[in-house]
């Protein structure tokens, strides 16, 4: 850790008057606080005094002043940080859209509608990238899809007609109650 000089040896190419002019013209509040810290350091204040004046931690103020002194006055602004790179490129996400417009059955899945878990599985299968459900919902929303929950009862259903059907159909289908209603599934492996 290097000690940041103070007084005239701090930012030797810039005078206090120039720092004050920069401070007056600056619109970014964070950069303005950093310039104020630089002005105070140029006046010969200690890091503790500057920290109390600008109401920021001592280490933060020390980092600001060190960067300003070593890298120049342009470091009064934050560096743009790109963040974590996307797991899927924009092209891959756009290529996903036409696939999702088709039904899951057309894509080889034994389901009628797309669910978040199914889209997660599709992305893993196509691009070998795993996502959490929340991020997949965000991707789907960005593609223009909305989450829709199937209704347990059709909104245009006629309750009276359904009740009449139940009353009349009971006598017609009574013979089915004696039939075994368990489901059996046959796979290709069963036919040897």
pLDDT, tens only, 125-159: 999 999 999 999 999 988 888 887 777 778 788 88
Mean pLDDT of the chain: 84
Calpha distance 61→24 (Å, rounded): 20
Helix 58-71 vs helix 47-54: crossing angle, to nearest 10 = 110
Confidence at residue 171, expressed as pLDDT on a 0 to 100 scale: 64
Q: Are residues 99 and 51 in the same domain?
A: no
Q: Does residue 67 sit in the same domain as residue 108?
A: no
| Model confidence, pTM | 0.49
Containing structural domain, residue 61: 7-76
Using the predicted structure, report yes or no on whether residue 107 has a pLDDT greater than 90: no
Do 68 and 104 lie in one domain? The reply is: no
* Residue 118 to residues 91, 139, 147, Cα–Cα distance (Å): 20, 14, 13
| Res. 79: pLDDT tops 70 | yes
How many folded domains does the chain comprise? Answer: 2
11, 73 contact by CB (below 8 A): yes
Do 134 and 95 lie in one domain? The reply is yes
Mean pLDDT of 38-58: 93
């Amino acid at each position: 850790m290097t000690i940041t000089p103070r007084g005239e040896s701090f930012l030797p190419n810039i005078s206090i008057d120039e720092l004050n002019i920069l401070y007056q013209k600056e619109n970014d509040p964070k950069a303005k606080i950093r310039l104020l810290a630089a002005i105070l350091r140029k006046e010969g204040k200690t890091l503790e005094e500057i920290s109390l004046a600008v109401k920021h931690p001592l280490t933060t103020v020390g980092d600001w002043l060190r960067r300003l002194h070593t890298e120049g006055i342009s470091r009064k602004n934050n560096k743009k940080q790109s963040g974590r790179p996307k797991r899927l490129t924009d092209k891959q996400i756009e290529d996903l859209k036409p696939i999702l417009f088709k039904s899951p059955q057309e894509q080889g899945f034994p389901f009628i509608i797309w669910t978040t878990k199914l889209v997660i599985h599709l992305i893993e299968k196509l691009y070998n990238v795993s996502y959490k459900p929340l991020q997949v919902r965000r991707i789907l929303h960005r593609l223009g899809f909305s989450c829709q929950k199937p209704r347990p009862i059709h909104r245009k259903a006629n309750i009276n007609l359904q009740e009449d059907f139940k009353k009349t159909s009971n006598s017609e289908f009574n013979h089915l109650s004696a039939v075994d209603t368990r489901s059996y599934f046959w796979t290709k492996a069963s036919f040897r």
